[in-house]
Structure formats: C-alpha cells, structure tokens
Amino acid sequence: MECDKCGREAVMHAAYSGLHMCEDHFCESVEKRVRRRIREDNLLPDDATPEDPETWVVGLSGGKDSVVLATILHDTFARAPRVELVALSIHEGIEGYRDESLAACEELAAELGIRHEVVTYEEEFDVRMDEVVEEDPENMSACAYCGVFRRDLLSRYATRFDADKLLTGHNIDDEAETAMMNFLEGNITQIAKHFDASLGGFEGGCSERSRGESEAFVPRAKPLRDVPEKEVALYAHLRDLPAHITECPHAEEAYRGEIQELLYELEERHPGTRHSIMAGYEELAALAASEHRGGDGEFGECERCGGPTRTDICRKCDLLAALT
Ligand code: SF4
C-alpha cells in the first residue's frame, strides 16, 4: 500500500480517516494532532516567552504514552523554549515492574535534557503497592488505591514545582473507555469532572473551572487524547523511543477490560467510534459541569494532609488510615 500523501510505502492505515501514511507522514500527523490539541485547549498563554517560560510537569511512567508525549512536547518547544518541562515519575512499590520503566524514564529524560524527579509511595505514604494488594482493607482493586495515591502525588508535586500545567499521556482509547464507564455507571459527577479537568479549565485563564477548583489544583491537560493507542505504540516504535511495555502484575480493572474489548470490536466494525464517543462526551461533560456547579461543596483543606478535598478528610488519607 502507498502513502496517500507522497506515494512512498505506507506503514499504517487509519480506517477512521481512510488515510494510508508512510513513516514520515504518519509521525508528522501524530505530532500535528498533539500541537493542535495544545492550541485548541489554550494551554500556552501568549505571554509565555523563552525569558519567562511556563513550567509544565509531565507525568512520566516510562510507558509508551508518557514517553511519546514528553518527546513531542520537547521537540515542539525545543527551538523556542516557551515551556520548561519537568518529568515526574511515581514509584508505586511494585517489584520487578516499576524499576525497569524508571530506567526508561531516566534514559529519555537524559536524552531530552529535561529535569526528572522521582517520588515513591514508600517515602511519601509508607506503603508499597505489593503490600497494599496483600492487605486490601477496603476490598477494592489494586488500581483503585493506586489511582488515588498517584493523583495525589502528581497534583501535590506539580504544586510544589510551581507548575502552570500538569500533563498526562492519556490517549483516545483511555479517554473513550473512561467515558463509556462513566456513562454506563450513570456517573454524572465524574462526567462533569471531565469537563473541569480537561476542557473548560483552560478557557479564560481557568475561569471556567468548578468553584474553588482553580485555586486548589494545578490545571491538568491531556494533549495526546486525539491519538489512538495503536498509533502511539507505532510512533514509539518508529522513533525508537525507550518505552517500557510490560503489564503491571496488579492490573485487574476487569470492568475496564470489558469496555476495552467492546470498543475494539465497535471500532473494527464502525471506524471512528472512539472519536464520535469523545465528541459527544465532551459536549455532555460541559452540560453536566454547568448543572453540577450548584450542587457540590467548595474545596476545603483535608484535616490530615492539607490537600484539597470537599470532605473533612480526603480519600487518600482515608485509604492510608485503613492500611495502618
Ligand atoms: Fe497501579 Fe493499577 Fe497501574 Fe498497576 S495497573 S500501576 S496497580 S494503577
């Protein structure tokens, strides 16, 4: 098959757009989608300059998504550095898993010449995920604990590093799965949060965020969210990026796995399904956010850790208390 743009040998066919692309045009198209998302989400204010750059903290796990995101961001701002990148890796305490992916993070950060920080659950919370899974006092999946701890650290360290934005490498498959899960669970609160976290937050200098949230959190963004997972993997492979691709031994979100399978099948039979889910979901999230603004309480400070929360004690402190 030939590239539709230049006639060279195609390395991929995007069924949702009908395009065949060679290696160069494919890589260029991934980069363009990330840059377009940065523009459309107004991530970079006009007054950011090489003399006074923004600080963007990028969650770097060493997996393909975060490695691709950090690389494209670095390349985008390399010539006119209006953004200073800080890579932040989290060690969850998972034997034989995170050590190798941290090596990939270190290699990439050194290659790109960006600051790299590592924080661990053990140092921060005195827990390791391997032990949390054994104890499991709340009878939940490992990922339910791990997600709460990770979000807390990313958010807290982004604030500590005086970041203007906190970026993560979610791709369109991740986003469509989450959208479907929230929709099927009827979870309007989470749907509204999607707007606050990913969409409305950057318009008008964060004025569209839910009450209190703009002060409580560093604004978050997902510039890879227009790119399918398989394309992220192909990009990492073609550019020979040091991504670590192994399954976490505690990954057990069974419901997400079912939704993932369902979406694969739908996308096979009806190319473009993920894109249309996200287009509709983003409109729905905006509506849900405007409805919900009157209903939730203001963000206050957790009585134990001082982190932002709408209750007296934040979820992370609740879970840590259950583990001790
Ligand atoms: Fe944590 Fe689950 Fe990811 Fe493993 S798969 S690192 S337990 S969130």
Domain definitions of the chain by residue range: 49-323
Residue with tokens 């920080």: 117
179 and 185 Cβ atoms separated by less than 8 Å: no
Is the CB of residue 224 below 6 angstroms from any atom belonging to ligand 1?
A: no
Is the CB of residue 305 below 6 angstroms from any atom belonging to ligand 1?
A: no
What is the residue-level pLDDT of the chain in tens, covering all 324 positions?
999 999 999 999 999 999 999 999 999 999 999 999 999 999 999 999 999 999 999 999 999 999 999 999 999 998 889 999 999 999 999 988 888 889 999 999 999 999 999 999 999 999 999 999 999 888 888 998 999 999 999 999 999 999 999 999 999 999 999 999 998 988 888 888 776 665 444 332 222 333 344 456 899 999 999 999 999 999 999 999 999 888 888 887 778 889 999 999 999 999 999 999 999 998 888 888 877 654 556 778 999 999 888 889 999 999 999 998
**Residue among 146, 150, 316 to mutate when testing ligand 1 (max atoms within 8 A of CB):** 146
Q: Give CATH for domain 49-323.
A: 3.40.50.620
Measured distance CA(43)–CA(238) in Å, rounded: 28
Q: What is the per-residue pLDDT for 203?
A: 35
Q: What share of the chain is helix, strand, coil (3-state, %, to 5)?
A: 50, 10, 35
Is the CB of residue 143 below 6 angstroms from any atom belonging to ligand 1?
A: yes
Residue type, 99: D
H or E stretch at 64: helix 64-77
